[in-house]
A and B are shown apart, each in its own frame.
Chain A
Amino acid sequence: MKNEWPLYEVFIRSKNGLEHRHVGSLHASDAEMAIENARDVYTRRQEGVSIWVVPSSEITASNPENFGELFEPAEDKVYRHPTFYDLPHELKHI
């Protein structure tokens, strides 16, 4: 229906030093109201020190159907991990 307020995705930084994390979404007439509503909906118990809101329509997401081509190539690249390399046990700090 045409009068529905747009949907915003809400991201909260729980404290300085941590990244913003997606917590959910809400409707608001504009970004400013989205922040005010997010304050009431997602931080009633001091869950946040900073809020980002993004119109849901602005988010481009990867398609789960492309999981294989996107993420499987990393599967057989064990040499990207430190444990791949054989070093003597007595060696320290490496």
Chain B
Amino acid sequence: MEHSIEYLEKQFQDRIDRGENIEAKDWMPEKYRKTHIRQISQHAHSEIVGMLPEGNWITRAPSLRRKVALLAKVQDEAGHGLYLYSAAETLGISRDELFHQLHTGKAKYSSIFNYPAVTWADMGAIGWLVDGAAIINQVMLTRTSYGPYARAMVRICKEESFHQRQGYEIMITLCNGTEEQKAMAQDALNRWWWPSLMMFGPTDAESTHTEQSMKWKIKRKTNDELRQQFIDITIPQAEFLGLTVPDPDLKWNEERGHYDFGEIDWTEFWQVVKGFGPCNKERLKARNKAWDNGAWVREAALAYSEKQSKESIRKAV
């Protein structure tokens, strides 16, 4: 039976409205497919590039306890990237194409990873704030309409909580330490606060994708709602540490039941998105280097496997 596109789109929207999940082989509007490929792959790239600022500190972790924790966290992020790449592949794009888009700079990843991690306190601030912001977004996405994406999110969310807790523990330890250690924690908060708020993306008024994403239940909350949720949760945690969030306009609004906060520097945000952040070039260079240097391993493994399977065929004959 041939149906018109309008009819299929209407049926598709009805399924979404009824709260059904969409699975890989189901009919879907081309734009739904493309939006998902873009969003899931950006998310995957963020996990992969996100390993770089932290991986940099593994050898310099101050104790074995911190080292195993950081190593395990970074390994988890690699796993998150892999769950997400395989979810993206269910939509008909190849892994090589996804990597190609990342390595040529065609694909985007979260801008937060274009900031440098300059002190050990940054490992605390990243776990606490960056993973904390990611959790808010990812918890929402466990109920996204595309099945493979939602399932990857459930798996990821189970693992994220440890990331945030180990980060916050680093912050507590520094804040209970010497004056210098506490100053280091404050400095990290100062540098990571605003970029963390930017992780939720442009304001609702500026966001071009939000309306359609909400309609298709890709997102269930807007950027501004998620950002507010993050701020409301995080401020008491900063107070607990005895640290000050670098925002003079921040104050509790009794009427709204939320914190009011100052203007985000969107010029900076767009600069980093467009490739002019402090580390964009360095991150892409590191990824390309890893990919190129690994080429001979990928080729050798494949050649070995092909040889083995020929051998076993020959023996069987």
Residues of A within 8 A of B (CB): 1, 3-5, 7, 23-27, 29-30, 33, 40-41, 44-45, 61, 63-65
The binding surface of chain B is classed by DSSP as: helix
Q: How far is the CB of B145 from chain A (nearest CB, A)?
A: 15
Report whether B79 and A44 are in contact in the complex, using a CB–CB cutoff of 8 Å. Answer: yes
- The proximity string for B residues 19-53 relative to A, scoring 1 for CB distances below 8 Å and 0 otherwise, is 00001011100000000000000000000000000
Report whether A64 and B301 are in contact in the complex, using a CB–CB cutoff of 8 Å. Answer: no
Some 28 contacts from A to B, beta carbons below 8 A apart, are A1-B94, A1-B97, A3-B298, A3-B299, A3-B302, A4-B94, A4-B95, A5-B298, A7-B86, A7-B89, A7-B95, A24-B83, A24-B155, A25-B89, A26-B82, A26-B86, A29-B298, A29-B301, A30-B305, A30-B309, A33-B305, A40-B75, A41-B79, A44-B72, A44-B75, A61-B25, A64-B25, A64-B27
Given contact pairs A3-B96, A44-B75, A25 touches B301 in the complex (Cβ within 8 A):
no
- State A56–B29 Cα separation when bound (angstroms): 24
Given contact pairs A3-B299, A33-B305, A64 touches B96 in the complex (Cβ within 8 A):
no
- State A26–B299 Cα separation when bound (angstroms): 17
Report whether A1 and B96 are in contact in the complex, using a CB–CB cutoff of 8 Å. Answer: yes
- The proximity string for B residues 73-104 relative to A, scoring 1 for CB distances below 8 Å and 0 otherwise, is 00110010011001101000011110010000
Residues of A within 8 A of B152 (CB): 24
Residues of A within 8 A of B96 (CB): 1, 3-4
Residues of B within 8 A of A1 (CB): 94, 96-97, 100
Report whether B25 and A33 are in contact in the complex, using a CB–CB cutoff of 8 Å. Answer: no
Residues of B within 8 A of A (CB): 23, 25-27, 72, 75-76, 79, 82-83, 86-87, 89, 94-97, 100, 151-152, 155, 159, 298-299, 301-302, 304-305, 308-309
- Closest chain B residue to A24, Cβ basis: B86
A-B contacts at CB below 8 angstroms, number? 56
Residues of B within 8 A of A3 (CB): 96, 298-299, 302
Q: Considering the complex of A and B, which 8 residue pairs feature the smallest CB-CB distances, nearest first?
A: A30-B305, A29-B301, A29-B305, A1-B96, A25-B86, A4-B96, A29-B302, A64-B26
